[in-house]
Structure 1
Amino acid sequence: MLSDRILGAVCLLLAVSMAWAAQSYVAEISYEPVGPRAFPMLLAALLAAGGLWLVFKPAAEGQARYAQVPLKLVALTLGTVFVYAFAFETLGFPLATALMAVPVGMAFGGRPLKCLAAGVVLGVGCFFMFDRLLDVVLPAGLLAPLLGAL
């Protein structure tokens, strides 16, 4: 479908811009084995792979036409990701991720409380996985006093 291909092209453009922006990410002091650009580069690669799949996937013959995602939901999701990128440092990874999960989850048909609960688990769980297990420093933001005590 044409809307899938347009979304794929937008994903590819975002992936290229993410990768280009991440090239300048350097740590002043090398304290991590992978450095600060590894995570955004990985996300850009995954976004590019998904975008390429959407652009070049074969047309499904003989299958029932599936419901198209309204452009309004795509715009909401894209806007939420941009707000997430700007609020990431101030709010911190766990809180920004939890808040981002609500509108994105609802765009995919989730209920608000379930989306918030999943976002809290995702945000806090990934924070501890990256920060404590993998030694990749993520901003704790407003929850720093609480997360530091754990």
Structure 2
Amino acid sequence: MDSQDLANLAHLRRARDLIDREYARPLDVPTMARHALMSPAHFSRQFRATYGETPYQYLMSRRIERAMALLRAGMSVTDACMAVGCTSLGSFSSRFTEIMGESPSAYRSRDHQAVTAMPACVAMVRTRPVRNAAPRNMAARNDVSRIREAGPKAAD
């Protein structure tokens, strides 16, 4: 890795930190790219190559992760949607279901005692959304949970 690669990585981390900190704000790729001191197209390519997902996918993962915590705490789906920066309840619910494999209201009504019994640092790691390769058709997608939450790791 040469000095230019290290500089690019530092710039990408700056943009990723922006997403982690400001996930509830309206963020778009040009804004993120400005923080990384890159053009939007170059930023998107570099971000995906480095982190394995597009900047928008990463942003939505952070929003869903925060929404999961709010839903576990008993917040309504609509309030959680707005609190994490999503403006469309339908889009939020669709994305949540796509990533989690269940609707936000089903997730909210589930028992979360295992997560609340864990130390916060462990719960944060165990409940973080993990994107896997999604099946192409919806019938197969309904059978696959794309997130492992507070349970034993699945065999790879």
TM-score (norm 1): 0.30
Give the greater-gyration-radius structure (CA).
1
Higher RCO structure (Cα 8 Å, ≥6 apart): 1
TM-score (norm 2): 0.29
